Structure 1
Amino acid sequence: MLRTALRNVLAHKARLLMTTLAVLLGVAFVSGTLVFTSTISEAFQRSSERSLSHVDIAIQPDGDSEAAEAAPGGAANLDQALLDEVGALPNVAEAIGDVSGFAALADTEGDLVGSGWDTRGANYYAGQGGTGTDSRYPMTEGRAPGAAGEIAIDAHTAERTGYQVGDTARVSVDGPVREETITGVFTTEEGSVAAGGSLVLYDTATAQELFAKPGEYTRITLAAADGTSQTQLDEAVQPLLPADAEALTGQQLADDQAEMIESQTSGMRTGLLAFAGISLFVGIFIIANTFTMLVAQRTKELALLRAVGASRRQVTRSVLVEALLVGCVAGLAGFAAGVGIAAGLRALMESIEFTIPEGPLVVSGSTVLASVLVAVVVTMLAAYLPARRAAKIPPVAAMNSVHAAPTTRGLLVRNTIGALFAAAGAALVVAGINRDDSGATMGLGAGLLVIGVFVLTPLLSRPVIALASPLLRIFGVSGKLARLNAVRNPRRTAATASALMIGLTLITGLTVIAGTLSQAIERMAAQAISSDYVVSMANFAPLNPEVAETLAEQPGVTGVSGLRASPALVADRTDSDSLTGVNGEAIDRLVTPDFTAGSFDGLSGDNAVIDTATADDLGLTLGDSFDVTFEDGQPGRLTVTGIYEDSEVMRGILLDDATLDPHMERIQDFQVMVATESGTSDETKQALEAALGDNPAILVQDEADIAEDIAYIFTLMLNMLYGLLAMAVIVAVLGVINTLAMSVFERRQEIGMLRAIGLDRRSTKRMVRLESIVIALFGGVLGVGLGVFFGWAVGEMMRGSLATYELVLPWDRIAVFLALAGLVGVLAALWPARRAARLNMLDSIKAD
C-alpha cells in the first residue's frame, strides 16, 4: 500500500500542485512569522544587554510602593544626596546620575529625526565637579556639552542628518524651539538609537531643568568594584534607599527588558500567526476537496484493491500516506519560503524607518519542526474524511465507474446539524452584545455560525445560484450549462465557495467596524470640541505652558486654554485620581460638553465642574462640596458648579488652572485649545505654526485635520489587515482553480460530447468561466452577508461606550468586494477554461 500511495502521488502530481501551494503559503506565513519575530526579539535583547553592560545596580523611583501610592504625586525622583551617599560606598566603582526625557531633534530640512518615543534627551554625567567623563557615551568628535545651549548627538543621527560639530540644531523638549550648538558626537549602545531613534545629550544641570528639577535624577546606576557581585552591592545599597525607591541588579534589568521585548514581540507573533491560521484553515477546504475528487476519480481502482484483499484500514492508510507526503513537501518548501518572507519583512521595516538592531536571521530547529508538523497535521486532517470515504467503497463498485451518491438521510443529517450550529451561533453573537466578557461569547458564536453556514452551503447553493439564472441566460447555452455545472455537485461547490467566504467575511466585518468607529469618533470630537484648533506634541508628550501664552498673544486669537493634568486624592477614595486644569474664562468657548446641571459659568477659585460618573460615584449634586488632596499633599475643598456627560474627549474633574498650578510639581499641558476670530483657514493655521517657530514636534490641527488623522489611522490599520488577509484570498483562488481543473478532468467525456455536437471552443471557455464566476460570487455573497452581520454585532457591543455610534455600511467597498470576488472567478478560470477548450473530442469521448 505504501508503494501504491507513492505511485498515486507521482501520477497525480499536477493535480496535487494547487494543494501543495495552498499549504505552502500558509506554512510560509507561519515560519516567516516565527523567524521574523525571533530575529527582532533577539536583536533587541542583545542591544539591551549591551546598553546595560555598565550597570550592576540601578536605583529608580518605585511607583508601586506603599509610600508612592499614599502620595498624590506618586514616587519622587532621586536627589543628589542619595547619589553622593551610594557613590561613597566602598564596593562602588562608579556612580552615575541619570536624567532623561523626550527631546525632538529637527534635521537640516526642519523634519523630525527619529520616531515617536525614540527621540530622547539625556544628561552627560561628568561627575559632581563636572570635570569627569561619562563612560556610557564615549566621544568620537568634539567634546561633551558643558553649559546651557550646548548638545552632543549620537553618531548614527549625525550620519543620517549630516550635522557636524559646530552646527546649530533646533530641538524641542516640551514645545518651544531651542537653538542648540552641537559640541560633540558620541557612540552608544542605547537600544532606542539602535532601533532608529535619536539621542541628544545636555550637561546635567540643563537636563535636570528640562526633564526633572535641579538636583534630581530619574535613575542612578552603579558599577561594582572588583570582587563585588551584584547581589553583594544590592545588599549594601538597600538600607540607603528612600521608601518610594527600589534597587534592581543589572541582571534583573536585563531580565525585565527581555520579558518586555518578548511580550511586545509575542503580541505581533500572535497576530501574524492568527492570519496564518486563517490561511491554513482556508487551505483545509482545498485539501479536502482535492482528495475527495481524487478518491472519486479512483473509485474503480480502490474497489479493485478491496476486491484483491486490501482492508479498509489499508485503503485509509494509503490515502493518508499521500497526504503525509504532500504535507512534508509543502512544509519544507513553506519553511524555505518563510525564511525569505522574514528577510523581506526586515528589509521592509527598515525601509519605513523602523530600524532593527543589526544581527543575523534567527532560524531555530523548532521553527523547521513546527513548519513541517503544521503542514503534515493540516494536510492529514483535511484528508482524513476523504480517506475514510475511500475505505468504505465496496468491492462490487469495481463493476461501475462511480459509487453511490450521498443518501437523502445523510443530507438531512448534515442540514440539520448545520441549521443547529448556525442558529446557536447567531443566538450567541446576539447574546454577546450585552455581555461583559471581553467578547468571548460573541467570538464563540461567530465560530459556530461560520461552521453552521459552511455545513449548510450545499443546501444554500441551489437557491442562491438560481438567483443568477436571469443573467446567465444572456450567455445562451454556455450560461445554462454553467449554472447546471455549478449546482451539479453542491458539496464541491460549497467547499470551494467556503474558502472565499471566510476571507471576505473577515474583510467585510473589519471594514464595517472600522468605518463605523471612524465616523463615530469624528462625530464625538466635533460635538465635544468647538475650538478652531487643537495644539499638541506630535507624540502626545506634555507641552510647556509657554505655548499657550504665545498663542494667546497672537492677533485674531479670541480664546486659549491649556489642558493640564495633576494627580490628586479625591474625597475618601484610596486610588489616585486626576484633576484637569483649564482656563476658566475661556473654556466655554472651546469645548461644548452636554451639561446635565450647571455650566462653566463661575469656574474659578475653588469651584469645579465634574462628569456624571464622578458625581454618581461620590454622590454629589450641584452645589455640593468635596475634599481633595493636591499633588503637593496640600488639602483643599472644591464646590460643584456644573455636571456634564463624560465622553472619550473630556471626562473627570475640571477646575481653573490658577487654582491648580500652585500645587503642581511641574506645570505642563497635554494639549492647548485655540479659538480665533476668522475661524479655520490655511492662513490662520500657518500664522499659528509660525508663532510656535514652525516646530516639527508640534501639531496645530483643526477639525478636518483631526478627522483626517482618525481616518488615516483606520485606513492604515485596514490596509495592514487587508494585506494579511490577502494570503487567505490567494489560497481561496488556488482552491477555485484546483476545483475547476479537476472538474474539467472529470467531465472531459461530457465536454468532448458537447464539442462533438457543436459547442465551439469559445463557448466551452465561456461555460467554464461563468461556472467559476458563479461559484466565486456565491462565496462572496455569503462572506459579505456574514461580515456585515458580525460588523453590526461588534458595533452594538461598543455602543455603550460610544454615544455617537451609528452603523455605517460602506456600500462602495461592499460593491468592490463583490466585484473582486467575480474577478477571482475570472482569473481562476483562465487555465481550466483553456484546458477544457483544447481537449481532443475523440480522446475525451473514449475516456473512462
Structure 2
Amino acid sequence: MFRTALRNVFAHKARLLMTVLAVMLGVAFVSGTLVFTNTISQAYQKSSAKGFDQVDVAVEAELQEDKGDTVGKRAELTQALLDESAKVPGAASAIGVVNGFTAIADKDGKLIGGGFQSQGGNYWGAEDPRYPLVSGHAPSGEGEVLIDSQTAKRAGYEVGDTVRLSVDGPVLDPKITGIFSTDDGNVAAGGSLALFDTAAAQQLFGKPGTYDQIDVKAKAGVSQSALKAELDKALPKDTVETTTGQELADSQAEAISASMSGLKQGLLVFAGIALFVGTFIIANTFTMLVAQRTKELALLRAVGASRRQVTRSVLIEAFVVGVVAAVTGLAAGVGIGAGLRSLMGTLGATVPDGPLVITPGTVLAALAVGVLVTMLAAWLPGRRAAKIPPVAAMSSVHAQATTKSLVLRNTLGALFSAAGVAVVLAATTMSGSDGQAPMGLGAVLLIIGVFVLTPLLSRPLIAAAAPVLRVFGVSGKLARQNSVRNPRRTAATASALMIGLTLITGMTVMAGSLQKSIDKMASSAIRADYVVSMANGNQLSPDVARKLGRIDDVTATSPLRNAPSRIGGETEYLTGVTGSTIGELTDLKVDSGSFKVGGTQVVVDDRTAESHGWKAGSSFTVAYEDGKKQKLTVAGVYEGNEMIQGIMLDLATLSPHQTDPADMQVMVKTSDGASGATKDKLEKALGSNPAIKVQDKKDLSNDIAQMFTLMLNMLYGLLAMAVLVAVLGVINTLAMSVFERSQEIGMLRAIGLDRRGVKRMVRLESLVICLFGGVLGIGLGVFFGWAAGELLGSTLATYELVLPWARMAIFLLLAATVGVLAALWPARRAGRLNMLAAIKSE
C-alpha cells in the first residue's frame, strides 16, 4: 500500500502541484513571520543589553500608593541620595540619570524619530562612560547639546551646527558641541537622543536638583547582587527600590519580546487564514483524486485491502505532499524573513545589526503546519472512499452522496448557522468588551454553518444567474449546469474566496462607519477651530497656551489640563479649563443644570455623575494632589464622548494646588475660522515647532481613525493573499474538472461545439463559482460589520452604519476578475483536447 501511494503521487504530479503551492504559501508566511520577528527581537535584545554595561545596580524612586485623601506621588532622587549611593562599600561610581521627551527637527523642520522615540537626557560630567564621544566635547548650559551619531547621519548635522528642538513646547536652538555613539534601543529603532549637561537637563525636564534614576557601577570583583545588598542597607527602603543591571536587561528583553508579539500575532493571523483557505483546496483536490480512482481503490478492496489501508494510502499521499510543501515553504519563509528585514530598512526603519535567526522551533513549526494541515484536509476524502463497498465503486466512477448524508449535512449547517446568528444578535445587545467574546463565537459558528450549507445554497443562487448566462447560448447553459453538477466541489472552491471577502467587507463597513461617527463627534462636540497638542501625546508647557492667547486673530483659548485627585477615597482625574471661554470652544449637550465653570462650580460628564450618584446641585469634597481639600458644586451634567469627558473645573481653582502644571492640549478659536493661512500663522507663532501638532476638526477625526485605516490596509493585504490562494483553488478545481469531463467535452466537440465555445463554457463556469463566493462573502461581511457596529454603538453615541457601496462593487468585480483569470489555463486546455482521444478516454 505504501508503494501504491507513492506511485499515485508521482502519477498525479501536475494535479498535486496546485495543492503544494497552496500549502507552501501558508507555510512560507508562518516560517517567514517567525524568522523575521525572532531576528528583529534578538537584534534589539542584544543591542539593548549593551546599554546596561555601565549599570550594575539601578536606584529608582518608588511611587507611593493613593491612600485616603492623599494622592500618591513618586519620591524624589536627590543629590544627597546620589552621594550616599556612591559611598556604599563596593561602589566604584554613581551617575545621576535625567531623561524626558525631546523632539529634534531635521534641516527641513520635520520631526526626527516619529515622536515616541524622540528622547533626551543628561551627559554626566566631562566624560560619560554611557555615551562615548565620536567628535566634539561635552555640552554646557541650555545653549549646547549633543546628538547621537545615527540622528546626525540621517539629518546631516555636524559639530558646530545649530539644531531646532523642543522639550515640552517652547522651541530651543542650541549649538551641537559633540556627537556620540550609543546602543540605546530607541535610537536603534530609528529614534533620536539629545543630551544636555545635567543642570540644564534637570531644568528643561522640570526636575531641578533631582534625578529619574541613579546608576551605580561596582568595583572590580564585586558582584551585582552584593552591591545591591549594600545599597539596600544604606538607602531608605520606603522611598527607593534597587534593581541589578542583569534584571534590567532581562526586563528589557521581555518588554521587547512582548512588543514584538503583537506584530508576530498579526502576521500569523495572515498566515493562518491563508492556511485555512488552502485547506479547502487540499480537501477539494483529494476529493477529486479519490473520486477519479474509485475503481482502482475498489479493486484494492476486492483483493484484500482493508478500509484502514485505503485511508492510510490516501494519508501517505497527503504526507508526501505536505513534506514537500513544508520544506519548500520553509525555504521561501527564510527568504520572506530576510526580505521583510530589508524592507524595513528601505522604509526608513533602522534595525540593529545581527544574523538571520532560524530557530529549531521555526523549522518544527513549518514542518508540523505543512504536514498536519495537508493530512487533516485529506483525511475526510480518504475515509469517505474507504467506506464505499467494492462492488458499488466498481460499477460507478462517481459515487453520489446518499440522501441521508445530505440531510445530515444540511441539518448541521442549519443548526450552526442559526446558533451563530442567535449568538451574534445576543452580543449586539451587550455593552463594550462584554460582547466581544460572544460576537467572535457567533461569527465562527455562522461561518462554519454557511460553509456546511454552501452546497445547498449554490443551486438557487447560481440559478439566479441563468437569465444572464442564456445570453451566451449553449456555452452559458452548460456552464450553469456544470456549476451545480457537483455542489460540494463548487462550495469548497467558492468558500476560499468567501472567507477573504467576509473579513474585508466586514472591516470596510466598520471602518467607514467609525470614520463617519468620529467626524460627527468632532463637528458636534467642538466649536474650537483648532486643537494644539504634542506630537507624541506628551504634555504641553503652559507657555504654549499663553503664546496662543497673545495672537491677534485668536478670540478664545482654553487648555485641557489633567490633574489627579481623591474623591471619596478613590482616585479621580480632574480636567482644568478656562471657565470663561470653555463654553465658546465646546458644544456639549447638557442633560441637567447649566454649563457653568468657575470658582467652586464644576460640570461633570453623565457617566461620572452616574457612578458617583451626582446631579445638578450636588456637592462633593475633592482632595488635590497637594493634600488640600475643597468643596465643589455640580453646576451641570453634560453628555461626554471619546474626545471630551470628566470633571471640568476652572484653572484658577486648580492651578494653586499643582506643583508642575502641564496641559494635554489647548483649544483655540480664531476670528477667521479654520484655514490654511490661519494654521500657518499659529504654527509660526509657536516657532514652527516639529513637536507640536495644530489640528482642525478634520485632522482630529483622521488622527483618531488612523488605527482603523491601518488595520484596514493590513486586511487588504490579507485579501490579496487569500485571493491568490483562491485563484490556485479555482485553477485546480477547473483543471481537474476538465480532466474528469474529457469524454463529455469530446462528445460536445463531436456534435458541433467549437473550441471557442468550450473555452467560453469553462470561463463562465469559473465566473459563476467565483461570483457565488463573492456574493456570500460580501453578504456575511455586511452582517458582521452591522453587528460589530451595534456593539460599538453602545459606547459610541454618534455611531451610525455606513455601507460602502462603491467598495463592495469593487470587491464583487474582483471576484469576477479572479474567475476570469483562474479559468485561462483550464479553458485553454479544454479547448485543445483532441475530440477522438477524449471520447476514447476513460
Take 1:828 and 1:706, find their aligned partners in 2: how far apart are those partners?
A: 44
Take 1:635 and 1:93, find their aligned partners in 2: how far apart are those partners?
A: 47
Take 1:253 and 1:109, find their aligned partners in 2: how far apart are those partners?
A: 37
Contact in 1 for aligned 2:563/2:574 (Cα 8 Å): yes
What does residue 30 of structure 2 align with? 30
Q: Within 5 Å, which residues of 2 pair with 1:553-632? A: 553-570=550-567, 572-574=568-570, 576-601=571-596, 603-632=597-626
Aligned-pair distance for 1:390? 1.9
Name the stretch that deviates more: 98-107 or 301-310: 301-310
What does residue 247 of structure 2 align with? 252
Aligned-pair distance for 1:624? 2.7
What does residue 548 of structure 1 align with? 545
2:397 corresponds, among 394, 399, 402, to 402
Contact in 1 for aligned 2:519/2:698 (Cα 8 Å): no
Q: Which amino acid aligns with 1:153?
A: I
Aligned-pair distance for 1:681? 1.3
Contact in 2 for aligned 1:51/1:189 (Cα 8 Å): yes
Structure 1 gap ranges (5+): 127-131
Deviation track 1:670-713 (CA, whole Å, cap 9, x = no partner) reads 11111011111111111111111112221111112223434544
What does residue 65 of structure 2 align with? 66
Aligned-pair distance for 1:648? 0.7
Take 1:206 and 1:754, find their aligned partners in 2: how far apart are those partners?
A: 90
Residues 411 and 735 of structure 1: is their aligned pair in 2 closer, same or farther, counting only changes over 3 Å? same
What does residue 705 of structure 1 align with? 699
Aligned-pair distance for 1:70? 7.5
1:718 corresponds, among 694, 712, 723, to 712
Contact in 2 for aligned 1:740/1:829 (Cα 8 Å): yes
Contact in 1 for aligned 2:69/2:623 (Cα 8 Å): no
Take 1:734 and 1:77, find their aligned partners in 2: how far apart are those partners?
A: 64
Contact in 1 for aligned 2:294/2:394 (Cα 8 Å): no
Deviation track 1:750-777 (CA, whole Å, cap 9, x = no partner) reads 1111111111111111111110010001
1:321 corresponds, among 283, 302, 316, to 316
What does residue 12 of structure 2 align with? 12
Q: Within 5 Å, which residues of 2 pair with 1:358-757? A: 358-397=353-392, 399-435=394-430, 437=434, 439-570=436-567, 572-574=568-570, 576-601=571-596, 603-757=597-751
Take 1:710 and 1:828, find their aligned partners in 2: how far apart are those partners?
A: 40
Name the SS of the counterpart of 1:147 in structure 2. coil
Name the stretch that deviates more: 457-466 or 627-636: 627-636
Aligned-pair distance for 1:667? 1.7
What does residue 335 of structure 1 align with? 330
Name the SS of the counterpart of 2:112 in structure 1. coil
What does residue 351 of structure 1 align with? 346
Residues 69 and 294 of structure 1: is their aligned pair in 2 closer, same or farther, counting only changes over 3 Å? farther
What does residue 47 of structure 1 align with? 47
Contact in 1 for aligned 2:96/2:214 (Cα 8 Å): yes
Contact in 1 for aligned 2:65/2:71 (Cα 8 Å): no
Contact in 2 for aligned 1:171/1:178 (Cα 8 Å): yes
1:155 corresponds, among 132, 149, 153, to 149
Q: Within 5 Å, which residues of 2 pair with 1:757-796? A: 757-796=751-790
Q: Which amino acid aligns with 1:502?
A: I
Name the SS of the counterpart of 1:32 in structure 2. helix
Take 1:471 and 1:47, find their aligned partners in 2: how far apart are those partners?
A: 64
Name the stretch that deviates more: 352-361 or 292-301: 352-361
Name the SS of the counterpart of 1:675 in structure 2. strand
Take 1:176 and 1:832, find their aligned partners in 2: how far apart are those partners?
A: 68
- Following TM superposition, the consecutive aligned residue runs of length 4 or more in structure 1 with deviations greater than 6 angstroms are 67-70
Name the SS of the counterpart of 1:548 in structure 2. helix
What TM-score do the two structures reach when normalised by structure 2? 0.98
Aligned-pair distance for 1:271? 2.0
Take 1:648 and 1:67, find their aligned partners in 2: how far apart are those partners?
A: 26
Contact in 2 for aligned 1:62/1:68 (Cα 8 Å): no
1:829 corresponds, among 799, 823, 830, to 823
Take 1:456 and 1:10, find their aligned partners in 2: how far apart are those partners?
A: 35
What does residue 119 of structure 2 align with? 120
Take 1:163 and 1:341, find their aligned partners in 2: how far apart are those partners?
A: 35
Name the SS of the counterpart of 2:434 in structure 1. coil
Q: Which amino acid aligns with 1:573?
A: G
Take 1:365 and 1:213, find their aligned partners in 2: how far apart are those partners?
A: 49
Contact in 2 for aligned 1:67/1:243 (Cα 8 Å): no
Take 1:389 and 1:350, find their aligned partners in 2: how far apart are those partners?
A: 51
Contact in 1 for aligned 2:576/2:650 (Cα 8 Å): yes
Take 2:479 and 2:709, find their aligned partners in 1: how far apart are those partners?
A: 38
What does residue 133 of structure 1 align with? 127
Aligned-pair distance for 1:242? 5.4
Deviation track 1:92-147 (CA, whole Å, cap 9, x = no partner) reads 11111111111010111111111221111101121xxxxx4211011111101111
2:194 corresponds, among 200, 206, 213, to 200
Q: Which amino acid aligns with 1:32?
A: G
Name the stretch that deviates more: 681-690 or 437-446: 437-446
Q: Which amino acid aligns with 1:382?
A: A
Residues 673 and 228 of structure 1: is their aligned pair in 2 closer, same or farther, counting only changes over 3 Å? same
Name the SS of the counterpart of 1:439 in structure 2. helix
What does residue 105 of structure 1 align with? 104
Aligned-pair distance for 1:275? 2.1
Matched, 1:82 2:81: yes
Aligned-pair distance for 1:60? 1.6
Contact in 2 for aligned 1:548/1:562 (Cα 8 Å): yes
Name the SS of the counterpart of 2:5 in structure 1. helix
Take 1:105 and 1:524, find their aligned partners in 2: how far apart are those partners?
A: 33
Contact in 2 for aligned 1:67/1:75 (Cα 8 Å): no
Take 2:83 and 2:196, find their aligned partners in 1: how far apart are those partners?
A: 21
Residues 67 and 611 of structure 1: is their aligned pair in 2 closer, same or farther, counting only changes over 3 Å? closer
Identical amino acids, percent of aligned pairs: 63
Deviation track 1:248-272 (CA, whole Å, cap 9, x = no partner) reads 1112211211221121112222222
Name the SS of the counterpart of 1:15 in structure 2. helix
Residues 192 and 287 of structure 1: is their aligned pair in 2 closer, same or farther, counting only changes over 3 Å? same
Deviation track 1:529-548 (CA, whole Å, cap 9, x = no partner) reads 11011111111121111111
Take 1:811 and 1:839, find their aligned partners in 2: how far apart are those partners?
A: 42
Take 1:679 and 1:235, find their aligned partners in 2: how far apart are those partners?
A: 63
Take 2:435 and 2:188, find their aligned partners in 1: how far apart are those partners?
A: 37
Contact in 1 for aligned 2:69/2:569 (Cα 8 Å): no
Q: Within 5 Å, which residues of 2 pair with 1:245-324? A: 245-324=240-319
Structure 2 gap ranges (5+): none
1:177 corresponds, among 171, 180, 183, to 171
Deviation track 1:398-441 (CA, whole Å, cap 9, x = no partner) reads 64351531111211111111111111111111112234535111
1:798 corresponds, among 792, 798, 805, to 792
What does residue 129 of structure 1 align with? none
Deviation track 1:785-840 (CA, whole Å, cap 9, x = no partner) reads 11111111111111111000111111111111111001110111010011011111
Name the stretch that deviates more: 260-269 or 705-714: 705-714
Residues 71 and 218 of structure 1: is their aligned pair in 2 closer, same or farther, counting only changes over 3 Å? farther
Name the SS of the counterpart of 1:168 in structure 2. coil
Take 1:88 and 1:67, find their aligned partners in 2: how far apart are those partners?
A: 33
Name the stretch that deviates more: 69-78 or 463-472: 69-78
